[in-house]
């Protein structure tokens, strides 16, 4: 009988092999951590990987993040002014909402569906195949906090 954890590792191993990457403990654990923690920063991912592999080095996780991103198994995003974040949602055409107050990042679908969902007015000869949009604002929790703050003063 296969345990659900074993089945998940098998899926991670299949993804690594399909991407022509060597299957290693840190890579499997890093892929799993990014899947469990959408838009997590590196430190959060390191902590999550260490839950599975307590002795893993920072460098092994950094190397895994780089290899998995290069292979297209995860995506690195870095909204202006924030540390890099990682997500396992790849291969679709989505963008992000970012809260200016608490740095919450939320996926948002593109209105037009296929990539790129927007095109520059003058692509200057570029063959555009992707557009990355970041929408900035305040999340509902921070909006509620900002409304309450002036009343408390």
Q: Where are the alpha helices (DSSP H) in 19-125?
A: 25-36, 42-52, 58-70
How far is the C-alpha of 139 from the C-alpha of 18, rounded, in Å?
Answer: 38
Q: Can you give the pLDDT at residue 150?
A: 42
Sequence ranges of the chain with CATH classification 1.10.10.10: 4-77
Sequence ranges of the chain with CATH classification 3.30.1490.190: 92-152
Average pLDDT in the chain: 87
How many CA atoms are closer than 13 Å to the CA of 143, on its beta-carbon side? 6
Superfamily name and number for 92-152? Ferric-uptake regulator, C-terminal dimerisarion domain (3.30.1490.190)
Token couple for 17: 């092999």
Per-residue pLDDT band at 144 (split at 50, 70, 90): very high
How far is the C-alpha of 139 from the C-alpha of 153, rounded, in Å?
Answer: 22
- Per-residue pLDDT tens digits for 36-88: 999 999 999 999 999 999 999 999 999 999 999 999 999 999 999 999 999 99
Phi, psi (rounded to 5 degrees) for 5: -65, -45
* Helix (H) / strand (E) containing 144: helix 140-152
How far is the C-alpha of 68 from the C-alpha of 64, rounded, in Å?
Answer: 6
How far is the C-alpha of 125 from the C-alpha of 134, rounded, in Å?
Answer: 24
Q: Considering only the top CATH level, what class is 4-77? A: mainly alpha
How far is the C-alpha of 96 from the C-alpha of 57, rounded, in Å?
Answer: 30
- pTM to 2 decimal places: 0.80
């Amino acid at each position: 009988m296969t345990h659900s954890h074993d089945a998940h590792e098998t899926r991670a191993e299949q993804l690594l092999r399909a991407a022509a990457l060597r299957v290693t403990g840190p890579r499997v654990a890093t892929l799993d951590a990014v899947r469990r923690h959408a838009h997590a920063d590196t430190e959060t991912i390191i902590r999550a990987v260490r839950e599975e592999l307590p002795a893993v080095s920072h460098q092994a996780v950094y190397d895994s993040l780089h290899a998995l991103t290069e292979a297209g198994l995860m995506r690195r995003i870095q909204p202006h002014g924030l540390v890099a974040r990682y997500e396992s949602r790849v291969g679709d055409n989505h963008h992000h909402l970012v809260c200016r107050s608490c740095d919450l990042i939320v996926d948002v679908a593109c209105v037009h569906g296929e990539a790129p969902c927007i095109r520059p007015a003058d692509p200057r000869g570029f063959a555009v195949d992707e557009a990355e949009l970041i929408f900035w604002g305040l999340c509902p929790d921070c909006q509620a906090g900002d409304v309450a703050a002036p009343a408390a003063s």
